[in-house]
Amino acid sequence: MTASASPPPRAFVLGNFVQACCWQVARLPAPGETLQAHGFHKEAGGKGLNVAVGLQRLGARVQTLIGCGQDAAADELLALLATEGVDATHVHRLPGPSGWGAGLIGADGHNTIAVYPGANGLLTAAHAEAARSAIEAAALVYGQFETALPAVQVAFEIAHRQGVPTVLNPSPWQAPPAALRSATHTLIVNELEAAGLLDAPALLTLAVADIARAVRQRQQALAIAWPALRRLVVTLGARGALGAERGDDGGWRLVHVPAPAVDALDTVGAGDGFACGYVTAVLAGQALGTALVWGNLCGAHVAARRGVLDALPFAAQLEGLLAGPWPPPEKLTF
């Protein structure tokens, strides 16, 4: 990353907000079992909010569309966005409570999470339409499925028609409608989501090279189902990330970037950290392999720390991570 006299790129994030409450436990409980927690942490959360704040910290000018409630949690959200410098023009206070989330985090860093969407589910296509000018002026639009699907779909359609790149993290996984698939340029999925996307349940047990082969074998069907898709990124946790890029000739090239070694304390939000690093690299004009490196570094930075918002890196921290040793991209050929 180098300093530039030009203004930073603008990202529009289809956000969501949950007041996240996390308990640290020695291990995740079995069904019906009650365990005593040894730690507790509360912070503003939500996949879209995490990415909006993370991108802003890494140098993008961010606008976000979020639905929050008529409660104290929403007051805290607006104060946070103001502190971070995120444009809250399209944050809407809607009837009822804001979203809430509960997470259990084991000593090994693994977690289980439940989320009540609250006001996030009240966003509509009209809210996205009202943000048309901001979407059309963006350098990139990012969305995920903790935001109401109609708002995500309309925002992506607006961006696609304007030629603005769109990046979708379809989490929590659900089969997207055809209109959204036709307006999505990049997909970021984890292994579980990739198994649903590729209709390949065995994917979770495969080695990286075999996952790449599964992507290659399904590339034609993927191109038909997702006609605007140019990139597929599969995050693999401690194994790094796999990227597939579709060329003008319709062929796909694949690259794998191993993850940096890290002692994971809390994997909640690591995927959002990855998305922040990846999107920042894309906004900077970096190639796919480099974008995967930036994503891995930011994801590992989050996983090595407790919480999410406090763990999301700033631009100077990413500079430091890039200066250190990190695993290089590996091109995969078959």
Residues 6+ apart with CB under 8 A from 40: 21, 22, 23, 24
pTM of the model: 0.90
Report the alpha-carbon angle 254-260-263, nearest 5: 140
Tokens standing for 186?
Answer: 């990049």
User: Which residue has tokens 């990286």?
Assistant: 208
User: Which residue has tokens 């704040």?
Assistant: 53
In whole angstroms, give the CA distance from residue 159 to residue 102. Answer: 33
What's the pLDDT tens digit per position in 264-289?
A: 877 878 999 999 999 999 999 999 99
What's the pLDDT tens digit per position in 109-145?
A: 788 888 889 999 999 999 999 999 999 999 999 999 9
E strands within the chain?
10-14, 18-24, 39-45, 61-68, 87-93, 99-105, 111-116, 140-144, 166-169, 186-190, 231-235, 241-246, 252-257, 330-332
Q: Say if strands 39-45 and 186-190 run parallel, antiparallel, or are unpaired.
A: unpaired
In whole angstroms, give the CA distance from residue 110 to residue 28. Answer: 8
In whole angstroms, give the CA distance from residue 247 to residue 304. Answer: 35
Torsion angles phi and psi, residue 311, rounded to 5: -95, -15
Task: Give all domains of the chain, ordered by start, each with its CATH number.
Answer: 10-16+46-97+120-332 (3.40.1190.20)
What's the pLDDT tens digit per position in 144-203?
A: 999 999 999 999 999 999 999 999 999 988 889 999 999 999 999 999 899 989 888 888
Tokens standing for 14?
Answer: 């289809």
**Residue 52: predicted pLDDT:** 98
**Residue 2: predicted pLDDT:** 47
Residues 6+ apart with CB under 8 A from 55: 11, 13, 62, 142, 276, 279, 280
Q: Cα–Cα distances in Å, from 287 out to 36, 41, 292, 293, 294?
A: 47, 37, 9, 10, 11
